[in-house]
Structure 1
């Protein structure tokens, strides 16, 4: 590579501008630019269509969700208590142990809540139905 000194030698650029380029530049640029004075048109019908479809979708969802959940609830409906009691009464071969094995912890908890007795209720029941309660308790 050739050594050169920046202070003494002038470096020429590798780019050259064609002759008369800047005299024709302005006219060429204006010819390429197309001036539009027309305003941009925004369709109101298209905007209405978007709003109408979104409103229709919201209405459809608001109607469909309650119907879906109500149908889901009817499909998983539980058997009434009387039907279960009748079934169990008609099954003489089932023992209390077999019945207890079929019940879950939630069933036992609901039974305990429904059969919860307090002392005042028991004493009132015994006083009304048994005349000699004191005799039985003291013996």
Structure 2
């Protein structure tokens, strides 16, 4: 293979030629083609306004939280459905355990004011098929 020296061998021209003094006034030509009227840029949000709104929101939330906690206190009374479900699923609780926990006020609340007739009792006992179980208890 023949040795190739860049400095001695003839060079190939690219075929593109730049006119003389083309780059001297190139920036002036480009700037002349740009529109001269500039429009004012209005930002969508202001940084100071955004910071002020964030601080105000934190203060309102911080001041309202204790007031909300005092206004909305959880009720301490149990819901009857929740209590019935709890007692029905607790298999280790029997009727005697429940009776032992009742006090006089609870018994007064549970007392009925309607008198029972003997006929009603007899009808119930005759229609009830678990009469033997009731007598054994």
Mark yes or no: TM-score above 0.5. no
In terms of fraction of residues, the more helix-rich structure is 1
TM-score range, shorter chain: 0.3 to 0.5
TM-score by length of structure 1 reads: 0.34
